[in-house]
Amino acid sequence: MNLDEKDHQYEERKTPEGFLVKVRLSKMTYVVFTPKGPEVPKGAKNNSIIVPVPRVVFLGEDFNLSHFRMGDLSFVNVKNGKLMIPYQHGGAREIKTINLNSGSESDILPVIIYHFSNVKDLSSLTEKNIEFQHIVADEGLQRNDMVSLKIRYPYMNIFLLKKKMGAVVDPKTALPADERGAEKTIDTDSSGMALRATNANLNVHSDNPVFLSRIHLRNMELDKVKQLLFDFDLKEDDILFIRTFLDVMIKNKGEKEELAQNKERLIVLDEIFRLAELIIKHDEEHFEGEIEKGLSKDVAYMVYALLEKFQENANSIEEEIMFWDWKYQARRLMQ
């Protein structure tokens, strides 16, 4: 078979609801055909009908993904526009699902699944220049590894699974379910969010980052609050609300042991969001003044990763150069 023939090999799947999914194997891209013609998925760049087959990495020793062929093309069910990827975790026989946005109305879509025990093994993909969009990691993923991954792949989504999810905040309150002691849960029917999937990252169930920040802060899942900077295009008002929540928690640190123990982490998180606001506003004077004063290594890592995101989405050459220069300055502080 010559290269030209290989380049035009396809795998097709006719779905129960009448869609035709056509995967171009050489490029691992696909097109969904509806009765009216090719589908343009919601959120598609430049309204393109061509979609890269999502690559999903499960990271951790306790996953069972024996129902997939690792690194090969697979097809999964789709519900309400979300890929339903089944897995088993922690030796349990129960089959759970992780839900990933697709933007498609098709009921079946392609994915490629990988499983690695640790971050070091994951490097085999990067050595082969294989790009992946999602990591599903168990709670054993170390914070430093998460930051490192986010710096290397700023647009990749990381979903952290917990064996048990704590009580979550009441969506009617303006602040995180605070230190008053009342345990609140969300009515999943009235909220319209599939929070019953307790092992899924809540960021895939809502388009409201302020609401999500309250939930993550209530559960003291501070890394998930950081993740909001990458999963959403936050506005200045979003930053203001999130920093208000952080300010309340920092000021109340003496009223609850957990807050006192996480005081420094909360202060660092507030600093990251303060700098993020300067980046969003393109406030050159004040941002460069902060760089000159110096940043802690943790803050510099996050700022660098955030600038990567903004540089790639820059609207002009001038913006791109500005973000590149800020990245260079932040990188010096990471040493």
Q: What is the DSSP string of 164-209?
A: S------TTSSS-S-TT-------HHHHT--TT-TTS-GGGS-S-H
Q: Given its phi and psi angles, is residue 47 left (phi above 0), alpha (psi -120 to 50 degrees) or beta?
A: left
Average pLDDT for 242-266: 83
Q: Tens digits of per-residue pLDDT, 167-216?
A: 323 332 333 333 333 222 223 232 333 333 333 344 444 568 888 888 88
Question: Quick one: pLDDT at residue 185?
Answer: 28
- Provide mean pLDDT across the span 139-144: 77
Question: Please, which pLDDT band fits residue 21 given cuts at 50, 70 and 90?
Answer: very high
Higher-pLDDT residue of 317, 142: 317
* DSSP element (H, E) containing 11: strand 10-14
pLDDT classification of 254: cutoffs 50, 70, 90: low
Residue of 259, 260, 332 lying closest to 294 (CA atoms) = 332
pLDDT the model gives residue 187: 30
What is residue 178's predicted lDDT score, i.e. its pLDDT? 32
Q: What is the pLDDT of residue 132?
A: 86
Q: At what angle do helices 317-332 and 284-293 cross, to 10 degrees?
A: 10
Q: What is the Cα 10 distance to its own chain's centre?
A: 30
- DSSP class of residue 41 equals -
Give the amino acid at 214: R
* In contact, 160 and 139? CB cutoff 8 Å: yes
Give me the percent of the chain exceeding a pLDDT of 70. Answer: 82
User: Stretch 210-229: mean pLDDT, rounded?
Assistant: 88
Give yes or no for residue 165 having a pLDDT over 50: no
For residue 214 the two structure tokens come to 């309250």
When comparing pLDDT for 77 and 253, which is higher? 77
Q: Which residue bears the tokens 């660092």? A: 268
Residue scoring higher pLDDT (147 or 280): 280
User: What confidence score (pLDDT) does residue 118 get?
Assistant: 85
Sequence-distant (≥ 6) Cβ neighbours of residue 120 within 8 angstroms: none
In the chain, what percentage of residues exceed pLDDT 90?
30
Rounded CA separation 165/183 (Å): 13
